[in-house]
Amino acid sequence: MNIASHCHRVILIALITCVGSLLCADENQKPNILYIMSDDMGFSDLGCYGSEIDTPNLNRLAERGLRFTQFYNTGRCCPTRASLLTGLYPHQAGIGHMMQDRGHDGYRGELNRNCVTIAEALKSAGYRSYLSGKWHVTSKVQPESSADKFNWPLQRGFDRFYGTIHGAGSFWDPNSLTRDNEFVSPFSDPLYPRDSDPGDDQDDSDDFYYTDAISDHAVGFIHDHHQNVGDQPFFLYVSYTAAHWPMHARKADIAKYIGKYDAGYEAIRKARFEKMIRLGLLNRNSVTPWPIPQDWINDNHWEWDKRCMEVYAAMIDNMDQGIGRIVTALKDTGQFENTLICFFQDNGGCAENYGRQSKSTTLRQDAPTLAPLPKEHLQVHMQPKQTRDGYPVRTGAMVMPGPSDTYIAYGRVWATVSNTPFREYKHFCHEGGISSPLIMHWPGGLSRAGEIEHTPAHLIDLMATAVDVAQTSYPDTYHDGRPIKPAEGVSLQPLLSGEPIQRDAIYWEHEGNRAIRMGDWKLVAKKANGPWELYNIAKDRSEQNDLADQMPERAKEMADRWQQYAQRANVLPLNPKKPSGQRKKQ
């Protein structure tokens, strides 16, 4: 045997041995699971879902992953989080409305002990769990003792946590900022030091900015896990507050979008709609964009309104940059190929007019008018009363958003653009309130790179998916032997290889708004006493041709099915009010 032949044989044997070892390792190695959720964004706000906003990192995940066109959330922030974390409908987990106890089990404003979080469910499979970002599934935002933290992340299965307990706040100075189990000031934090004078007239790239902090801590959790317990799989939940009001963004990110929206609402929406058609996300014959109410448009405030959208776009851009850093961390630690990544949103675009009602404009003063706050000060207000350096926080028409002394939502018209081409917004169960992108990416477990998936799915399915890919079982009992409600979702793993999933129906309710989806048919209503409307979603995704009067038998059958769900899932009574004693306390 000559030397060359011998060398070839040795190399071949080595390759076979190496590949065999890798196959054996992969066969036994459980995947990491990374769930990323954004806040208050519409269906068309990502580049890969039609937008003009620069989201290259999410676009790449979509191009090499699976893009869903009919994935649903619950239409509101904390019910979505409860549903995602537990695999139950929100009322079953105790959070049918927001974070107040309304006197009924479906509306306690706390995760109950008859559910488990994904972090708790995966413990038996050897997973460590991390959370970076917004929690918002407990009323105990200002606990009086450690016992009040019974529903904080570490008490619900997570090994590490960095983020906010509350549901909204300043991006420059968030309230309830917490590391693990203790509050922390963003400006006296030795583990993440940042400038204590955010939003000034100088470069703000070193200032604390919450979206960056969420991304950076997610990156840190990945590296720490790899260094300390790299032989275990992990579940990482990244829960951004972008692009929830207030419209706050870094100057460099805003600069990219100056002039981007000069063409106006309708032109931007038309461009998005045409791009969605080209991408294969929508069928032109089954969708007509829901019209913008003309009385919502105020031409006198156009420069202000345009600035709101420029800042909104910058917030999403910054989030995408952070997701890019998270992906890089996975690659640097050799975990990218073996990580299931899912990106989705908590509700549709937000038409709330927070900070926009006042017609008066408060100008920024030339110098601070209030005493500066110490670095160690803990912010406890959703809307801070002042900046750290002493400027009052301003709201009202023509207050240009972005800096730390402003607190403004982007308004109802831009929310309509975000929700292109759907009807209604956050809070509601029409498509604009509950439709979310879903990008699933997993090089080691997905064989449909770049495809579009039209199967209806719901975020209750993400618990079932996590349990499935982790090769474990959903528990029957937990929390010292308490019975656990059966998970409601269906694993989406079969779709990754082109296999179908089977389901009976999907249900919704929030604030009396309610819906049921069965196949291509959807029954939906606004408010507790509102009439049922019936739509064929395959032919009328924008819900403009109500068939309830033409098909009363189908409407009644679906209404009866929804009623059965409501009775078993703690939904009733619809939209209960807070007890009077609690109202006084508030």
- Which residues belong to the active site? 77, 136
DSSP annotation of 300 reads G
Cross-strand bridge partners of residue 482: 478
424 vs 405: CA distance, rounded Å? 30
Helix (H, G, I), strand (E, B) or coil at 325: helix
Nearest Cα neighbor of 149 from 111, 187, 118, 206 is 111
- Residue 475: Cβ-neighbour burial (10 angstroms; 0-12, 13-18, 19+): middle
Round to whole Å and give the CA distance between 100 and 43: 29
* Dist CA 466 CA 455 (whole Å): 18
Q: Which two tokens stand for residue 395?
A: 């709201």
Question: Given the structure tokens 């991408």, which residue do they identify?
Answer: 279
C-alpha to C-alpha distance for 55 and 60, rounded to whole angstroms: 9
Look at residues 396, 320, 395 and name the one whose alpha carbon lies nearest to residue 41.
320
Contact in structure between 163 and 132 (CB atoms under 8 Å) = yes
Q: Which residues contact 180 (CB under 8 A, 6 or more apart)?
A: 154, 160, 161, 162
CB 467 within 8 A of CB 473: yes
Instruction: Kindly list the distances between the CA atom of residue 390 and the CA atoms of 172, 197, 368, 373, 480, in Å, as whole numbers in the listed order.
Output: 14, 10, 5, 7, 49
List the beta bridge partners of residue 34. 236, 341
* 134 residue type, one letter: K
Alpha-carbon gap, residue 260 to 314, rounded angstroms: 11
Question: What is the rounded CA–CA span in Å between residue 319 and residue 521?
Answer: 35
